[in-house]
Amino acid sequence: MKALLVLVGILVLLAVAVMSGYNGLVSTQEAVSTQWAQVQNVYQRRADLIPNLVKTVEGAANFEKSTLTEITEARASIGKVQFNNAPTDPAQLEQFDKAQGALGGALGRLMVVVERYPDLEANANFQALQSQLEGTENRISVERGRFNEVVQTYNTKIKSIPAVFYAGLLGFKERPYFQAKAGAEEPPKVDFNFGGAKPAQP
């Protein structure tokens, strides 16, 4: 009888430990999902600014149409790579990051071309977009960093004892990180500052 009671006690303790660990995994998984939504929000904010940017810039005489076409096509491509939940497959996150990077690159090339049209500097709409895009680029960098932080916490939990023994069985899989590219230590530069004004802070 004593042995049976000891066995039952051990099983109860194990059950409590598993339940507590499971709840912790759920909490960290939700943190990853919440932060992923925030990453998507800031990227969407940038995408939402593109139509107004294109409309403002295309008003400049003889502005290169191919540059605007590249921006429009890059914006359209990101709509094809959206995930409601944070990706569990590194290839999915890479696909998302590649599409967003293409838009960021197109924006950078657009700004190089814009420098040939100083009259745009005095355009009030362009100045407003300047501030908003700079702030958005900074925010994207911040939210990507926060996403990696919560993913690190989650991945550490599922690899730690005792969760490592049951996390996989319960469907908790390792999540991929955003990978920094060469020269990506700082936020992407969307430089509208022809007059030397300081960039907007996030």
pLDDT 10s digits, 71-107: 999 999 998 888 888 999 999 999 999 999 999 999 8
DSSP class of 162: T
On whether residue 202 sits in a domain, the answer given is no
C-alpha dihedral over 20, 25, 26, 32, to 10 degrees? 150
Domain membership of residue 160 (yes or no) is yes
CA 75/CA 55 separation, integer angstroms: 14
User: Does residue 111 lie within any of the structural domains?
Assistant: yes
Q: Is the pLDDT of residue 27 over 70?
A: yes
Rounded to an integer, the average pLDDT of 119-139 is 85
Q: What is the CATH number of the domain that holds 68?
A: 1.20.1270
Residue 178 CA to residue 184 CA, distance in Å, equals 11
| Count of the separate structural domains present in the chain | 1
- Whether residue 179 lies inside any domain: the answer is no
Q: Which domain holds residue 138?
A: 18-165
DSSP 166: T
Instruction: Judge whether 191 lies within some domain.
Output: no
Q: Can you give the pTM of this predicted structure?
A: 0.78
174 part of a folded domain = no
> Would you place residue 16 in the very low, low, confident or very high pLDDT band (cuts 50, 70, 90)?
low
Residue 1 located in a structural domain = no
